Amino acid sequence: MTQLHFNEAVYQCEPGESVLDALTRQGVSIPSSCRNGVCQTCMMQSADANVPSAAQNGLKSTLQAQNYFLACVCRPTTDMDISLPDSSDRLLPATVTALRQLNDEVVCVGLDCPSLPDYRAGQFINVYRDTGFSRSYSLASVPSDPYLRLHVRRLPAGRMSNWVHDELKIGDSLHISAPVGACFYLPGAAQQPLLLIGTGSGLAPLMGILRDALNQQHAGAIHLYHGSRDAAGLYLVDELREMAAQHPHFHYTPCVSGGSASSIHQPGRAVDVALAAHPDLTGWRVYLCGNPDMVKSARKKAYLAKAAMNDIHADAFVRVAAANQ
């Protein structure tokens, strides 16, 4: 058993228990969302450097050096003296500048955030409905765009996504976090072929990555496979076809897993269609975004197709844990 010193009180942490679970169990409310070490909503700071390294995975080195850590995956082995960063350090004010329905279930939200730090296309932000309730959304925009763009898919009974679809209006103010995440385009290796596979609103980060790669004169072939269960779930089809017509080295394949062949899309799961067309991924860079099960299985398949592990970049849209619903 270790002790957590927080806000002038002491809390017990069972062996193997996370800091977040220990505090929540003892009635302390900490902002959190995915509880999976991804979204960084539950970031805390330790007064000492006794932070388990696994609790700092994915944090910028400047944050790691200041003993910041993710409470949901921090399982202490010694007592810790911890605090929450000031919310004014974490939350950036933003204004809704655009709302555009991309299909029946996905809306594109434009956000203006004057205090936004530099970001990479494909990273994600946390959008706060209020200070204690947030969800992660990937950036479909590139830094040169006049505003941030998100693709928010409506989920049945989804609290954030239905609020965005039904209540958010142009001109509304809200708060977001600074962009985080390691799934983005890196310039260099301009001849390397790129394989982009996404399902549903997993197209959002891929749009950012694609546009960034084209803006940065990526010369190698770029193949985008966007999958959906039915044709109605596809979106930005005309825009992507137009981009493919303008850039001969960019190839776009919409895929529908629950239907038969058609003139506008390929039948089958995006990952299967992609790997049937590109069975040997030696030397490729691969981006996988969207449904966590798809991302997990595609990562394995890409590795078996000889993509190098450090050339596989992924953003799994992990669900908010039941404990946080």
Segment interacting with ligand FAD, rule: CB under 6 A, options 158-166, 218-226, 233-241, 297-305: 158-166
Instruction: Give the one residue of 19, 51, 271, 320 binding ligand FAD; rule: CB under 6 A.
Output: 320
Nearest to 274 by CA among 157, 165, 194: 194
How many Cβ atoms from other residues are within 10 Å of residue 13's Cβ?
23
C-beta closer to ligand FAD: residue 98 or 305: 98
Query: Where do we find the tokens 């992924």?
Result: 314
Residues 300, 301, 302: CA angle, nearest 5 degrees: 95
Residue 58 binding ligand FAD, by CB under 6 A: no
> Distances in Å between the alpha carbon of 180 and those of 3, 18, 101, 251, 288?
30, 22, 26, 28, 17
The two three-digit tokens of residue 135, written as one number: 């969800």
Single residue of 151, 223, 265, 313 touching ligand FAD by CB under 6 A:
151
Site residues for ligand FAD, 203-222, by CB under 6 A, read 204
Query: Which one among 161, 199, 257, 266 touches ligand FAD, defined by CB under 6 A?
Result: 161
Q: Is 34 in the site for ligand FAD (CB under 6 A)?
A: yes
Asked if 126 and 40 touch (Cβ cutoff 8 Å), the reply is: yes
Six token digits for residue 314: 């992924």
Question: Does residue number 141 form part of the binding site for ligand FAD (CB under 6 A)?
Answer: no
Report if residue 155 touches ligand FAD, rule: CB under 6 A: yes
Per CB under 6 A, 228 contacts ligand FAD: no
CA distance 91 to 322: 25
Q: Taking each helix axis from N to C terminus, what angle separates 292-304 and 270-277, rounded to the nearest 10 degrees? A: 10
The nearer residue to ligand FAD, 5 or 154, going by C-beta atoms, is: 154
Q: Starting at the edge strand that comes first in sequence, how are the strands of the sheet with 148-153 ordered?
A: 133-138, 124-130, 173-176, 92-101, 106-112, 148-153
In the complex with ligand FAD, the residue whose CB is nearer, 127 or 281, is 127
Give the sign of the dihedral formed by CA 115, CA 121, CA 123, CA 124: positive
Which member of 72, 92, 108, 152 binds ligand FAD (CB under 6 A)? 152
Q: How far apart are CA 281 and CA 300, in angstroms?
A: 12
**Residue 40 or residue 67: which is nearer to ligand FAD going by CB?**
40
CA distance to 170, 171, 175, 221, 289, per residue, from 203 (Å): 23, 26, 23, 18, 7
CB 260 within 8 A of CB 232: no
The least distance separating ligand FAD from the CB of residue 292, rounded to whole angstroms, comes to 8
Q: What are phi and psi of 127, to 5 degrees?
A: -100, 130
Is residue 96 part of the contact set for ligand FAD (CB under 6 A)? no
Between 119 and 137, name the residue whose CB sits nearer to ligand FAD.
Answer: 137
Reading phi first (left if > 0) and then psi (alpha if -120 to 50, else beta), residue 188 is in: left
Q: Is 257 in the site for ligand FAD (CB under 6 A)?
A: no
Among 84, 168, 318, 321, binds ligand FAD (CB under 6 A): 318
Question: Contact region for ligand FAD (CB under 6 A) — 8-16, 109-117, 296-304, 311-319?
Answer: 311-319
Q: Which residue stretch of 10-18, 159-167, 236-244, 245-253 sits at the interface with ligand FAD (rule: CB under 6 A)?
A: 159-167
Residue 153 vs 313, nearer CB to ligand FAD: 153
Tell me the residue nearest to ligand FAD as measured from the CB. 158
Distance of closest approach, residue 281 Cβ to ligand FAD, in angstroms: 23
Point out which residues bind ligand FAD (CB under 6 A). 34, 38-39, 124, 135-138, 150-153, 155, 157-161, 201, 204, 315, 317-320, 325
